[in-house]
Structure 1
């Protein structure tokens, strides 16, 4: 979702045809125009425009699948095509220095 207005520890955000009031305490206040990942009324992570676009495409693919449509999965998951999945840095095993 994209921040449109700040209000104390909350922000009004818009995305995918919705407007929600999100708790911003996990990520701190963000200026209008900032993309955030939202879950259960809370902003969880600050996103760049590319990340927001990839998440939107994945949600579009999920919506189409739930409607019984066959979307162009490769197009909607273009950031994942042609590469092995990668764990986020915080989930990767620690490297050993010997």
Structure 2
């Protein structure tokens, strides 16, 4: 029995705010049902003795050490700022504009 129905696909479309045509609903119903069936098959064979992994190959950090370098002085940082108050950048307020 199919878990994914056209009505469910339409409902998911509404939740995602995606307008779906009847043809798209039909296509997605089959595709999503195949995906859910594949996941169910994998779930059936997954056993507790299989270690869960997020990546098939162990990963190592390849980044350099985080060592602070030369830093800008306040005057250097503010030198090209369009507007500042002497110690901070001054920007226009954006909070509450759309409320």
TM-score normalised by length of structure 2: 0.28
> 1 or 2, which has the higher helix percentage?
2
TM-score normalised by length of structure 1: 0.28
